[in-house]
Amino acid sequence: RKQSFWQQLVDFCSYPSLLVETLIQMFLWFVTGMSYYGFNFGWGSIVPNRYLGYVMAAVGHFLGSSIVFPLIARIGRRRAMMLMFSGAALFYLIAILDVKLGKDTDWTLESICSLIGVIFISGCLSGIYLWSAELAPTPHRGFAICASSSAARIGSFLGPYIFINLKPVTHKAVPFGGLAFLALLCALGSFFLVETGDKETALTGEDVVVRRGSYRYRL
């Protein structure tokens, strides 16, 4: 049954589980958008050759989007997202180390880890699109996707600032450490969402409450 905007808002108050799941999804989209667009607009300050960086990043985007769906089919949405966010956090932390990859090159461990991190972030972006559509009940799906996409857009405004403006004036542990912390929070947030691959699509807010009530959280 089609609901008005105000009826949907009432449902968020009537079914706290629906509100919690939507807020977690918005946070996942926010961090993913921040990292994704931060890298895309920041390669000039991350790798020594920005043109080669963009080419390699494009390969990373392709790999991430290609890997995540077979991974989801193998281990499920929830575990796949936890793995992808944790992988991104790991390479963010490794990127903090100040290691040059040779005497005659400007490439550093930071450059390589950033290019690998893009694979995980691209996988997160593709996977979260699928998962969000399945988590939201039918009458609220459009609202949940729009709210999450808006959160990602806000993150996309902040991402370039991190790499273009903040990174040059602070220690690189600040931007990469912050992104690693946020990615770990996303992995934790993914843990508290439910696996939807083996369940019927929720049709109402009450279905979301029942789905969460019968779910057993485990790795």
Could you please report the per-residue DSSP string of 97-117?
A: S--BS-TT---BHHHHHHHHH
- How far is C-alpha 18 from the geometric centre of its chain's CA atoms? 20
d(CA 92, CA 114): 7
Burial label for 30, CB within 10 Å (0-12, 13-18, 19+), is buried
Pairwise CA distance, residues 133 & 159, whole Å: 25
Alpha carbon distance 212, 219 (integer Å): 16
Going residue by residue through the chain, which has 219 residues, state the pLDDT in tens, using 9 for 90 and above: 566 766 777 777 888 888 888 999 999 999 999 988 877 776 666 777 778 878 888 888 899 989 999 999 999 999 999 999 999 999 889 988 888 877 777 778 888 888 888 899 999 999 998 899 888 888 888 888 999 999 999 998 888 887 777 777 888 788 888 889 999 999 999 998 988 887 788 878 788 888 877 777 665
